Amino acid sequence: MSTGPARGLPARHALLALAVVAVWGSNFVVIHAALAVLPPFLLALLRFALALVPALLFVPRPAVRWPLLAAYGVFIGAGQFALLYLAIAGHIAPGLASLVIQTQVFFTIGLAMLADGERLRPLQVPALALALSGIVVIGANTGGDVTPLGLGLVLLAALSWAAGNQVSRRMGRVPMLGVVVWSSAFALPPLALLTLLLEGPARIGPALAAAGAATWAAVAWQAAGNTLFGYAAWGWLLARHPAGTIAPMALGVPVFGMISAAWWLGEPLPPWKLLAAALVIGGLVLNLLAQRRGR
C-alpha cells in the first residue's frame, strides 16, 4: 500500500520520474546505435546477460515461484526485446517503434479479458478505437520509416510484453527489479539458441570483433541504465506514491522516443506520423482515465 500523498509529487521525485521516462524513451536511439554493429538476437543476449550479472549478487530473489519467473523471462527477453530489436534492425524507425510498442496496454487488456474475464469499461472502447486508428495510419504509410514486417514485429513484441504483464499480475505485489534481474536467467537460453541458429558464428565473431567502446557502452546502457536504474527508480517511486500518480508519466516514453530519434538520428516527423502519435497517445490517455474512473 502506498504511503505517499494522494496527489502531487515532490520536485525531486518528479524529476526522478522524468529521468526514468527520458531514459526509457531515448533508449530506442541507443538500441539503434548498438544494432549498427551487433545483430539483434546477440544484442538481446548481451543485454540480459549484463542485467543478470553482477546484479544477481546484490538483488535478492523475489518471493515468486520459479515457473512464473521463467515465463516472465521468456516473454520479455525472447519475446518483447528480441522481436523489438529485430524490428529496429532495418524494418522500423526507432522513434516510431517507441510509439507502436505502447499498444502493449491494449494487448494487456485483451489478455486480461480472455484469462480473467475482465470487461471493457465504457471509456476503453473509444480508447482502443483511437489507438487502433493510429496503427492504421502507420500501416497506410509503410515503405519509408516502417515496413509491414517491422510493424508486425513490434506489434508481436507488444503482445509478448502484454503476456509478461499477465504473468506479473500472477506474482502479486513484489519488487519488479528483483523480478527483472532473476527472470533474466530464463531469457538467456532461448536468446542463446536464437543467436546461434539464426545469426551463427559467422556473424557473431565479426560483430564482437567490430564492437568498440561506443557499442559496448550502448549494450551496458541497456542493462544498467534502461533496466537496473529504470526499474529500481520506478519501483522506488511506486512504493511511495499511488500508481495513479506515477503511471501517467509513462505516457512521455513515446514522446521522448520520437523527439530523441528526430534530434539524434534525423528521423523525420511528417504530418501522418504526428497524427498517428496523437491517436495512439490519445487512446492511452483515455484508457488511463477509464482506469481512474473504475477505481
Task: Say if residues 256 and 99 touch (Cβ distance below 8 Å).
Answer: no
Average pLDDT along the chain: 91
**Domain definitions of the chain by residue range:** 15-294
pLDDT for the residue numbered 62: 93
pLDDT for the residue numbered 120: 83
Average confidence (pLDDT) over 220-243 = 86
Task: Say if residues 234 and 176 touch (Cβ distance below 8 Å).
Answer: yes
Average confidence (pLDDT) over 178-187 = 94
User: Taking the model in full, what pTM does it have?
Assistant: 0.92
Average confidence (pLDDT) over 140-160 = 94
The burial of 204, by beta-carbon neighbours within 10 Å (0-12 exposed, 13-18 middle, 19 or more buried), is given as: middle
Alpha helices in 36-81 (DSSP H): 40-52, 66-73
Taking only the tens place, the pLDDT of each residue in 99-149 is 999 999 999 889 988 888 888 888 889 999 999 999 999 999 988 899 999
Average confidence (pLDDT) over 32-38 = 97
- 200 CA to centre of own chain: 26
pLDDT for the residue numbered 185: 96
Average confidence (pLDDT) over 23-45 = 97
Q: Cβ of 282: how many Cβ atoms within 10 Å?
A: 16
pLDDT for the residue numbered 5: 39
Task: Say if residues 157 and 80 touch (Cβ distance below 8 Å).
Answer: yes
Could you give the CA distance from residue 82 to residue 40 in angstroms, rounded to a whole number?
7
Percent pLDDT > 90 in the chain is 71
Cα angle, residue 97 at apex, residues 96 and 102 outer, rounded to 5° = 105
